[in-house]
Amino acid sequence: MNRPSPRSATALYATAATCAVIGVLLWVRSRTSVAPRLFLHGSSSDADSPLPSAWRVWSPALPEERLGMYLLAAALVLALAGRLVATWRE
Protein backbone atom coordinates (compact mmCIF):
# COMPACT_ATOMS: atom_id res chain seq x y z
CA MET A 1 0.00 0.00 0.00
CA ASN A 2 1.44 3.36 -1.04
CA ARG A 3 1.65 5.99 1.66
CA PRO A 4 1.62 9.66 0.70
CA SER A 5 4.95 11.45 0.67
CA PRO A 6 5.82 13.33 3.84
CA ARG A 7 5.30 17.08 3.86
CA SER A 8 9.03 17.70 3.99
CA ALA A 9 9.51 15.79 0.74
CA THR A 10 6.67 17.72 -0.87
CA ALA A 11 8.21 21.01 0.26
CA LEU A 12 11.59 19.95 -1.16
CA TYR A 13 9.99 19.00 -4.49
CA ALA A 14 8.13 22.32 -4.66
CA THR A 15 11.29 24.28 -3.89
CA ALA A 16 13.21 22.27 -6.48
CA ALA A 17 10.56 22.98 -9.12
CA THR A 18 10.61 26.70 -8.31
CA CYS A 19 14.41 26.83 -8.53
CA ALA A 20 14.33 24.95 -11.82
CA VAL A 21 11.77 27.28 -13.39
CA ILE A 22 13.61 30.44 -12.29
CA GLY A 23 16.93 28.95 -13.39
CA VAL A 24 15.63 28.07 -16.84
CA LEU A 25 14.07 31.51 -17.27
CA LEU A 26 17.32 33.22 -16.31
CA TRP A 27 19.35 30.96 -18.57
CA VAL A 28 17.01 31.56 -21.53
CA ARG A 29 17.02 35.30 -20.84
CA SER A 30 20.81 35.38 -20.90
CA ARG A 31 20.87 33.46 -24.21
CA THR A 32 18.38 35.63 -26.07
CA SER A 33 19.27 39.09 -27.25
CA VAL A 34 15.69 40.37 -27.22
CA ALA A 35 13.96 40.99 -23.89
CA PRO A 36 10.37 39.70 -23.79
CA ARG A 37 7.63 42.33 -23.87
CA LEU A 38 5.15 42.04 -21.03
CA PHE A 39 2.81 44.78 -22.18
CA LEU A 40 1.45 45.91 -25.51
CA HIS A 41 1.25 49.56 -26.50
CA GLY A 42 2.76 51.91 -29.03
CA SER A 43 3.19 51.39 -32.73
CA SER A 44 4.01 48.04 -34.29
CA SER A 45 7.42 49.27 -35.46
CA ASP A 46 8.21 50.30 -31.86
CA ALA A 47 7.23 46.86 -30.56
CA ASP A 48 9.44 45.13 -33.11
CA SER A 49 12.62 46.95 -32.16
CA PRO A 50 14.75 44.93 -29.72
CA LEU A 51 15.61 46.69 -26.48
CA PRO A 52 18.04 45.23 -23.99
CA SER A 53 16.73 44.71 -20.50
CA ALA A 54 17.76 47.48 -18.10
CA TRP A 55 17.28 45.58 -14.84
CA ARG A 56 19.64 43.07 -13.30
CA VAL A 57 18.50 40.06 -11.32
CA TRP A 58 21.69 39.60 -9.38
CA SER A 59 25.04 41.24 -8.77
CA PRO A 60 27.01 42.42 -11.82
CA ALA A 61 29.81 40.10 -10.67
CA LEU A 62 27.61 37.03 -11.34
CA PRO A 63 26.13 36.75 -14.84
CA GLU A 64 22.50 35.66 -15.18
CA GLU A 65 23.54 32.59 -17.16
CA ARG A 66 25.72 31.35 -14.29
CA LEU A 67 23.01 32.14 -11.72
CA GLY A 68 20.53 30.15 -13.81
CA MET A 69 22.89 27.19 -13.91
CA TYR A 70 23.42 27.41 -10.13
CA LEU A 71 19.66 27.39 -9.61
CA LEU A 72 19.29 24.36 -11.88
CA ALA A 73 21.99 22.54 -9.89
CA ALA A 74 20.25 23.49 -6.64
CA ALA A 75 16.99 22.16 -8.07
CA LEU A 76 18.61 18.80 -8.82
CA VAL A 77 20.09 18.59 -5.32
CA LEU A 78 16.75 19.52 -3.71
CA ALA A 79 14.88 16.97 -5.83
CA LEU A 80 17.36 14.28 -4.84
CA ALA A 81 17.01 15.28 -1.18
CA GLY A 82 13.22 15.12 -1.53
CA ARG A 83 13.49 11.65 -3.00
CA LEU A 84 15.79 10.51 -0.21
CA VAL A 85 13.44 11.91 2.44
CA ALA A 86 10.46 10.23 0.80
CA THR A 87 12.16 6.82 0.68
CA TRP A 88 13.71 7.18 4.13
CA ARG A 89 10.34 7.87 5.77
CA GLU A 90 8.60 4.87 4.17
Domain layout of the chain by residue ranges = 7-34+51-88
Q: Left, alpha or beta for 57 (phi > 0: left; psi -120 to 50: alpha)?
A: alpha
Q: Which amino acid is at 61?
A: A
Distance of CA 28 to the CA centre of its chain: 10
pLDDT of residue 1: 44
Sign of CA dihedral 54, 59, 60, 66: negative
Over range 40-64, report the average pLDDT.
62
Predicted TM-score (pTM) of this structure: 0.67
Query: What percent of the chain is predicted at pLDDT more than 90?
Result: 36
Helix pair 64-88, 7-31: axis angle to 10 deg: 160
Query: 42 falls in which pLDDT band (50, 70, 90)?
Result: low
Residues 6+ apart with CB under 8 A from 19: 71, 72, 74, 75, 78
Residues of the chain with pLDDT > 70: what percent? 63
Would you place residue 48 in the very low, low, confident or very high pLDDT band (cuts 50, 70, 90)?
low
